[in-house]
Structure 1
């Protein structure tokens, strides 16, 4: 989870989204993970459709090479 610039906005966004969509996992940490996933895998949007979110997070956390993640 990132602290500093934007963290207050992300916390407020999380609260607002949780109010509108209470059954979705929209914690600040998950929002930062979504941002990180997009930044590292902008060319791979199909990965989100094929793999569950938890598997995508595992790839981000465990594999350092973007080529390995792509594979």
Structure 2
């Protein structure tokens, strides 16, 4: 199979054709992300501990978070 593709590629190059481009489009795409802004975004040990505590309390439904 690889040999066939290599020959097709060589033939395209000889006659000056370009391979067709593939384009991927999405409709109604929704992306959710947890994002920290400000000083909470810095990867420091206190921020890590605070983030883990916040995630634990969110799992227990004690803290809703201020995002």
For normalisation by structure 2, the TM-score amounts to: 0.28
> Higher helix fraction: Structure 1 or Structure 2?
1
Determine which structure has more spread, i.e. the larger CA radius of gyration: 2
User: Relative contact order (alpha carbons < 8 A, sep ≥ 6): 1 or 2 greater?
Assistant: 1
For normalisation by structure 1, the TM-score amounts to: 0.27
